[in-house]
Structure 1
Amino acid sequence: MNREEPQTFLGDFNDVLTEDEKVSIHSQPRIYLETFRRFVDDNGLIDVDLKGSKFTWFSNPRNNIITKKKLDRVMVNWKWMQIYQNAILKASPAVSSDHCALILETQPLVQIKKEFRFEVF
């Protein structure tokens, strides 16, 4: 992966980064957490903060038990984050799917060049 160019990875990663990204009666195998975390760290990726819902996937209820996970996310590198510092990631409610749609709003950081003026008093 080229770290000198802005990079974005988004979609269903089908795994969680931390145990608090899952609510279930079944625990997440440690090896899955470690493998995904290592991939993120090795590639210098940053998980864009999700506004609204903490979870992006919901199971069909069985015996009134629902599993919730943050499977869908947007991950970027540092170069991307420098350009889009004001980016906002939102999750819309899951309507016709068991996944929430993610909406990434970006506004590039605009640097205004001010003309330098020297005034003599």
Structure 2
Amino acid sequence: MPLQNHSFVPSRGRSGGLWLLWDQQVNLKILTKTRFYIQAQVQEPYNTSWVFVCIYGDSAHTLNATIWNSIKEIVRTNEKVCVIGDFNAIIGESEKVGGNPNLNKNNRDFRDFLFDMGLLDLGLKGPAYTWTNRQSASNAIFERLDRAVATAAWSQQFRDAHVNHMPRA
């Protein structure tokens, strides 16, 4: 790959893991790395900067409240923040097909976290669901677990930012 700059958090078996890559033109500094996220500062021309967080939520959901509390602290101390990744949570029944339609505590807590922090969903172009259990039609479950959210200040600076979800090959 032509991207020489990178930072990663190793997976645990078949779960987790993060790999952040950027090219030479991006002035990025890694601030924090944990099992569940990488926090970086991006320095823009004319001395403006913003915080970028790549996240992989806990698939067992037991540590997500702790992860979201860490992200809350990042948002509280930085005006411009963008968080991208697999949150392992949905915000409403419209983001799920199949399985139990009710929102569990993890999903309600995630929705509250986004609302409390004023984080704006950057939307999604492409297929609506980013995860599937890969079961046969009668047992299939589809969910939107991956997303990008940002503070209002970040969204105003990057008005044209959007997420393209590529179809499965």
Fold match by TM threshold 0.5: yes
Separation (CA, whole Å) in 2 of partners of 1:90 and 1:28: 27
Structure 2's unaligned 5+ residue stretches are 1-74
Choose between structure 1 and 2: higher helix proportion.
2
Q: Indicate the RMSD between aligned Cα atoms, in angstroms.
A: 1.8
Alignment of 1:1-121 (within 5 A): 1-2=75-76, 5-62=79-136, 64-95=138-169
Separation (CA, whole Å) in 2 of partners of 1:89 and 1:42: 23
Structure 1's unaligned 5+ residue stretches are 96-121
Residues 93 and 103 in structure 2, CA contact (< 8 A), matched pair in contact too: no
Choose between structure 1 and 2: higher strand proportion.
2
Separation (CA, whole Å) in 1 of partners of 2:108 and 2:85: 20
Residues 4 and 79 in structure 1, CA contact (< 8 A), matched pair in contact too: no
Gap change, CA 1:9 and 1:65, over 3 Å in 2 = same
Larger radius of gyration: 1
Tell me the TM-score normalised to structure 1 length: 0.69
Task: Please state how far the C-alpha of 1:62 moved relative to its aligned partner.
Answer: 4.1
Identity across matched positions, percent: 29
Deviations 1:82-109 (A, max 9, x none): 01111121101234xxxxxxxxxxxxxx
Separation (CA, whole Å) in 2 of partners of 1:11 and 1:63: 27
Runs of 4+ in 1 over 3 A off after TM superposition: none
Tell me the TM-score normalised to structure 2 length: 0.51
Q: How many residues align?
A: 95
- Relative to structure 2, which stretch is displaced further, 70-79 or 23-32? 23-32
